[in-house]
Homo-oligomer: A and B are copies of this chain.
Amino acid sequence: MSNSYRVAILGATGAVGRELLELLESRNFPVSDLKLLASERSAGQRLPFKGEKLLVEPVSDAMFENVDLVLASAGGSTSKTWAPVAVEKGAVVIDNSSAFRMNPDVPLVVPEVNPQAAANHKGIIANPNCTTILMTVAVWPLHQVKPVKRIVAATYQSASGAGAQAMAEVKTQASAILEGKEPTAEVFPYPLAFNLFPHNSPLNDWGYCEEEMKMVNETRKIFDNQQIRITATCVRVPVLRAHSEAINLEFETPFSPNEAREILQKSPGVKLLEDWRKNYFPMPLEATGKDEVLVGRIRQDISHPCGLELWLCGDQIRKGAALNAVQIAELLVEENLLKPKAATYVS
């Protein structure tokens, strides 16, 4: 018989938490027991799973007893508090926060890119930032054929990156504006509906925001390549849940768009979407709810002989967060890197 696992979702009521729940069901992840955990404030809700309505319970030490796998998506400070507890009690934690991503003892994994890194886990595996996941899925297959020297990225990031409340806020703001009223902003520092602004994460001394540095540092860690030069401008746009990215790539030698297209056509996790006659390329409307990173508008960069331009969109909550985490969990199962207590008894 195949193993099945005792799973806990930490942050179950959030936008990513709900998507994790949906993915465990739809992808038929081998779950023998499922605990939904959240803060005291969010506990008490019931969420659907395989025809049942599961109760969301407040997180506590005791909740991590007899758990094989924790999927955590409740923010950095929550992960810092509870991930070590869960690991101590024998679980493997796949953490969606930024808390452990740059920790050298924690693998940072995109299954299409560096699945082998998962094998070195010591209890925690980090799920990269959404913009990084989407970019690495599209760039890695090209980088395997000809190494990328430099990336200049500009992002178009949806409200979902700041959670379900942010998505609701954008809708409320849009309603207000359409009624001729002044929009108010609480989740974001400025109104986002019919507006946009540079990503509102803390800025470092060089003027890069955290979101941009995640693209730089996480990509280098995932690619296991500290030489690759990356710059990014991250921007929040009034889109609900898919991110877009304009990616300018510089290689050592010329990379023909047709060759790139052929490579990406057969790359895992990528879907080429290019209808040049209809001017039909990836857009958030198409990417929402999809598992793949949609890639298109692959062009020779006319400003650089070794440059290639590409455009991508991906569902920020799915591949940008929940799906990647579940794929890591599936990888752990396949590679027998998740040691279920049940399996120990059986073997």
Q: How far is the CA of A239 from the CA of B191 in the complex (A)?
A: 12
- From B195, B203, B229, B235, A246 is in contact (CB under 8 Å) with B235
A263 at interface by CB-CB < 8 Å: no
Q: Which of A199-242 contact B (CB under 8 A)?
A: 200, 202-203, 206-209, 216, 229-231, 233, 235, 237-240
Chain B residues whose CB sits within 8 angstroms of the CB of A301 once the complex forms: 152, 231
Given the known inter-chain contacts A279-B198, A284-B196, please indicate yes or no for A233 contacting B246, CB distance below 8 A.
yes
* Contact present for B152 and A233 (CB under 8 Å): no
Distance between Cα atoms of A150 and B303 in the complex (Å): 7
Number of copies of this kind of chain in the complex: 2
Total A residues in contact with B, Cβ cutoff 8 Å? 59
Q: Does A283 contact B (CB under 8 A)?
A: yes
A-B contact pairs, 28 of them (CB 8 A): A150-B304, A151-B303, A152-B152, A152-B301, A156-B196, A156-B237, A174-B178, A178-B178, A191-B285, A195-B284, A196-B239, A197-B283, A198-B281, A198-B297, A198-B311, A206-B299, A206-B302, A207-B276, A207-B299, A207-B309, A208-B299, A208-B302, A209-B279, A230-B302, A231-B301, A231-B309, A238-B239, A248-B248
